[in-house]
Amino acid sequence: MTVRLVLSDCSNFKVRYQDEASLFENDVGRLALGAFLVLWFVGVPLVAGPYLLTLANLAGLAVIGATGLNLLTGYTGQITIGHGAFMGVGAYAGAILGARLHLPFWAAVPAAGLLTAGCGAVFGIPSLRLKGLYLAIATLAAQFILEYIFVHWDWLTRGTSGYVVPPAWLGPWRVAGERAFFWVISAAAVLTTVLSCNLLRTRVGRAFVAIRDNDRAAAAIGIPLFPYKLLAFSLSSFMVGVAGALYAYYLGVVVPDKFTLDLSIDYLAMGIVGGLGTVLGPIYGAVVITVLPEVLRAGSQALSGVFPGITNALIALREVVFGAVIIAFLLFEPEGLADRWRVVRAYFKTWPFAY
Amino acid sequence: MTIFLQLVVTGVAVGMVYALAALGFVVVYKASRVLNLAQGYFLALGAFGALLLAQLTRLPFALAVLGSLLGSLLLGLLVERLLLRPLIGKPVIAVIMVTVGLAAVLRGVILLRWGAGNFGFPQLLPESPLRAGPLIVSPVHLGALVISLLMLGVFVAFFRGTTLGVAMRAVADDQQAAQALGVSVPRVLGASWAIAAAVAATAGVVVGSINGLNADALSFIGLKVFPAVILGGLDSVPGAVVGGLAIGVLENLAGGYVDPLVGGGAKEVAPFLVLVLVLMVRPYGLFGTVEIERV
């Protein structure tokens, strides 16, 4: 195997079908990704303090969930306003499997994902008849019904007192502390991204995109809509469920007030900001939406000398900025950060020429 | 039986408020197929705006409410012009998310000014309840009913009697045909948002005078609108009224009969269970237009 270290090909021509299906145009991208992963898994835990690791962990969990949402909303075109609650289902499933059934960590997390997938499929059944706005409303209802179950079905969820999740053991290694979870969560995020990336190059992924672009045309060329929509719902819920279960183990407790409509909207915002229907979009979006409140906090602390009382207004300020970011992206950057990144790269690829 | 009637009566009063909020929602949906998730914050802003005006200017409360309604009209026009018009023809998700973003901004503004506390309007009506046979009706509920009915009447008159109202009905019916006959569609879309915001503000003031003002409680009504409009039919104005009333009554009954059995919360979740049921059985609701697609 020869390594081709060309920064970019002159033009977009392919001579073999394998080239068309390959993820990277040349080995530079492959090496860059490898270097990034090594840096991320080895360098970051060495350098970063607990605060940065916490942020990275929250962002990593958000990446997993946002990738799930992207699969459903970005690629299959089924809008969901209920992913926050589905994450809650994953968290509760993980907690119950771990605390009540004493399943080990490595089994409880995927099992929680599977349970969430089942739950997602149940709430995806309306997609047989509904689409667009109606489906969005149906998932909104799912959000409220699941929230009700979290709070009021004491036998299963222990109501508002919630669950204490047992410590996570991977074989002899006890996963505890920010650094340990950093590796676990990052690995899961990478796996999810690879999974979604590869899925989209298969028959299933192409069917998803066909359904998104025109569902009637997709049905006409022989794609059975309902099974594929259900599959999209389950896969997406699986990912967000895994994120939820990891979150449960990471925090050590599960309480219902984490998984509200606001979380669902956060996930949608990640999709919008990053760029729906792109593989890397959810990563950018998750990082931006996770880091945004922290930036605001730091900013308001810096300004508290000039404007006393600004730290008290932080929650309100966060809402305003959050909304403004969503609106600004929709109006001025509707394809999200992923598209901006592509444009910037294309610019430098042919620089100094326009194209 | 008395309890039942009592629950129904208060349910109707609350339901009228839902009907008002749903009405504004349906007007926007009919004109432009936009799902407005910020409706609840229009409600809250209308109520808090009236409070602010009353406090700042020491105007009589009725004038403050009127001022708040005018402000809401302007806000609606502004929202349509600045946020919705650039997104015409964009995917559904973009349009939904822009209203979500708007909701977040409005929520932030309300929190910045008032925080999450509870506020009250000046007492207008006497507190002592009225008795009609075995039933007890508080004057505020009665006032809510009257104001909502009044607003509905204005609404009907507007759609039947004014040029703009007829133009709005024409656009809702067939945008292209209306355009061909010289109706300015952008103006109609702007008007639909202005009306939605103003009607929501009315509902907000009414709820504010029943339950007091709280940003979260008021904005949650914007979400209760969904069961109401789905039940009635997303694009049906009478449906919005019927749906709103039905959801108000149903929620009150659930609160009265089911809550003691399950330990609370049934009142909040019952409308959404109905929503799912309706979506499964009859997604276009009671009076909505049936959209048939064949492959």
The structure tokens listed for A251 are 């925090």
Q: How far apart are the CA of A152 and the nearest CA of chain B, in angstroms? A: 7
Query: Contact, B210 vs B141, CB < 8 A?
Result: yes
Cβ-proximal residues to B220 (8 Å cutoff; 6+ apart), any chain = B40
Q: Which residues of chain B have a CB within 8 Å of the CB of A80? A: none
ipTM of the complex: 0.87
Q: Which residues of chain A have a CB within 8 Å of the CB of B268? A: 144, 148
Question: A171-185 b/e with 16+ CB inside 10 Å = b?
Answer: eeeebeebebbbbbb
- The angle formed by the CA atoms of residues A334, A335 and A336, to the nearest 5 degrees, is 90
Partner B contacted by A272 (CB < 8 A): yes
For residue A237, what pLDDT is reported? 94
Partner B contacted by A15 (CB < 8 A): no
- In angstroms, the CA A82 to CA A260 distance is 9
Looking only at Cα atoms, what is the longest distance across chain A?
Answer: 67
Closest partner CB to B104 (pick from A129, A137, A319): A319
Q: How far apart are the CA of A186 and the nearest CA of chain B, in angstroms? A: 29
Q: What would the pLDDT profile of B195-216 be if each residue is shown by its tens digit?
A: 999 989 988 888 888 878 888 8
Closest partner CB to A216 (pick from B111, B223, B295): B295
Query: Contact, A247 vs A84, CB < 8 A?
Result: no
Please check the confidence at residue B229 and state whether its pLDDT lies above 80: yes
Q: How far apart are the CA of A198 and the nearest CA of chain B, in angstroms? A: 25
- Looking at residues B40-62, what average pLDDT do you find? 87
**How many Cβ atoms sit within 10 Å of the Cβ of residue A328?**
12
List, in sequence order, every residue forming a beta bridge with B130; answer none if it has no partner. Answer: B137
> What are φ and ψ of residue A168, in 5° steps?
-90, 130
B211 alpha-carbon distance from chain centroid: 16
Tell me if residue A351 falls in helix, strand or coil.
coil
Residue A221 Cα distances to A207, A225, B110, angstroms: 10, 11, 51
> What CATH number was assigned to the domain covering residues B2-119+138-281?
1.10.3470
Partner B contacted by A130 (CB < 8 A): yes
Partner A contacted by B276 (CB < 8 A): yes
Where do the domains of chain B lie?
Answer: 2-119+138-281
- Looking at residues B56-80, what average pLDDT do you find? 88
Residue A45 Cα distances to A179, B102, B248, B281, angstroms: 6, 38, 54, 53
The structure tokens listed for A146 are 């699941």
Q: What would the pLDDT profile of B148-200 be if each residue is shown by its tens digit?
A: 888 888 888 888 888 988 898 888 888 889 889 988 888 889 999 999 999 89
Q: In chain B, which residue's Cα lies nearest the Cα of A135?
A: B279
Query: Contact, B1 vs B237, CB < 8 A?
Result: no
Residue B128 Cα distances to A45, B2, B38, B125, angstroms: 67, 20, 35, 9
Partner B contacted by A141 (CB < 8 A): yes
CB contact under 8 A, B104 and A268: no
Tokens 């915002």 -> residue: A269
- In angstroms, the CA B275 to CA A48 distance is 48
Q: What would the pLDDT profile of B89-147 be if each residue is shown by its tens digit?
A: 888 888 889 999 999 999 999 888 887 777 877 766 666 777 777 777 777 778 888 88
For residue A355, what pLDDT is reported? 66
Tell me if residue A275 falls in helix, strand or coil.
coil
Residue type for position A313: A
Give the global pTM.
0.89
Per-residue pLDDT tens listing for chain A (355 residues): 556 555 555 556 677 777 777 777 777 778 888 899 999 888 888 888 888 999 999 999 999 999 999 999 999 988 889 899 999 999 999 999 988 888 888 888 999 999 999 999 988 887 777 777 888 888 999 999 998 888 888 778 787 777 888 887 777 777 778 888 899 999 999 999 999 999 988 899 999 999 999 888 999 999 998 899 999 999 999 999 999 999 999 998 888 888 989 999 999 999 999 989 888 899 999 999 999 988 888 888 887 777 776 766 777 888 899 999 999 999 998 888 988 888 888 788 777 777 6
CB contact under 8 A, A136 and B112: no
> What are φ and ψ of residue B212, in 5° steps?
85, 170
Closest C-alpha to B84, from B193, B219, B234: B193
Q: How far apart are the CA of B125 and the nearest CA of chain A, in angstroms? A: 34
Q: How far apart are the CA of A220 and the nearest CA of chain B, in angstroms? A: 6
Closest C-alpha to B206, from B113, B103, B110, B125: B125
Computed from CA positions of residues B64, B66, B70, B71, in that sequence, does the dihedral angle turn out positive or negative? positive
CB contact under 8 A, A126 and B280: yes
B282 alpha-carbon distance from chain centroid: 22
The structure tokens listed for A76 are 């299959």
Q: What is the DSSP letter of B174?
A: -
Residue A77 Cα distances to A209, B29, B221, angstroms: 8, 21, 28
Of chain B residues 65-84, which have a CB less than 8 A from chain A?
Answer: 83
For residue A3, what pLDDT is reported? 60
Closest C-alpha to B110, from A187, A4, A319: A319
Q: Which residues of chain A have a CB within 8 Å of the CB of B85? A: none
Closest partner CB to B275 (pick from A132, A137, A331): A137
Q: Which residues of chain B have a CB within 8 Å of the CB of A126? A: 276, 279-280
Q: In chain A, which residue's Cα lies nearest the Cα of B86?
A: A331
Tell me if residue B213 falls in helix, strand or coil.
strand
Query: Contact, A130 vs B281, CB < 8 A?
Result: no
Q: How far apart are the CA of B77 and the nearest CA of chain A, in angstroms? A: 17
Where do the domains of chain A lie?
Answer: 36-259
The structure tokens listed for A164 are 């204490």
CB contact under 8 A, B101 and A325: yes
Query: Contact, B105 vs A323, CB < 8 A?
Result: yes
Per-residue pLDDT band for B293 (boundaries 50, 70, 90) equals low
Residue B209: Cβ-neighbour burial (10 angstroms; 0-12, 13-18, 19+): buried
Q: Which residues of chain B have a CB within 8 Å of the CB of A317? A: 108, 112
Of chain B residues 35-54, which have a CB less than 8 A from chain A?
Answer: 35
Quote the radius of gyration of chain A (alpha carbons, Å): 21
Of chain B residues 129-158, which have a CB less than 8 A from chain A?
Answer: none
CB contact under 8 A, B83 and A325: no
E-assigned strand segments in chain A: 163-164, 168-170, 173-175, 253-254
DSSP string, A211-241: HHH-HHHHHHTT--HHHHHHHHHHHHHHHHH
Closest C-alpha to A194, from A77, A280, A124: A280
CB contact under 8 A, B295 and A272: no
Of chain B residues 167-206, which have a CB less than 8 A from chain A?
Answer: none
CB contact under 8 A, A320 and B109: yes
Q: What would the pLDDT profile of B242-289 be if each residue is shown by its tens digit?
A: 999 999 999 888 888 887 777 777 888 889 988 888 888 888 888 877
Q: Tell me if the bond preceding A352 is cis, omega within 30° of 0.
A: yes
Closest C-alpha to A29, from A202, A209, A208, A197: A197
Q: How far apart are the first and last CA of chain B?
A: 51
CB contact under 8 A, A326 and B92: no
Partner A contacted by B259 (CB < 8 A): no
Q: Which residues of chain A have a CB within 8 Å of the CB of B223? A: 140, 144, 261
- In angstroms, the CA A66 to CA A336 distance is 14
CB contact under 8 A, A137 and B264: no
Quote the radius of gyration of chain B (alpha carbons, Å): 19
For residue A236, what pLDDT is reported? 94
CB contact under 8 A, B276 and A145: yes
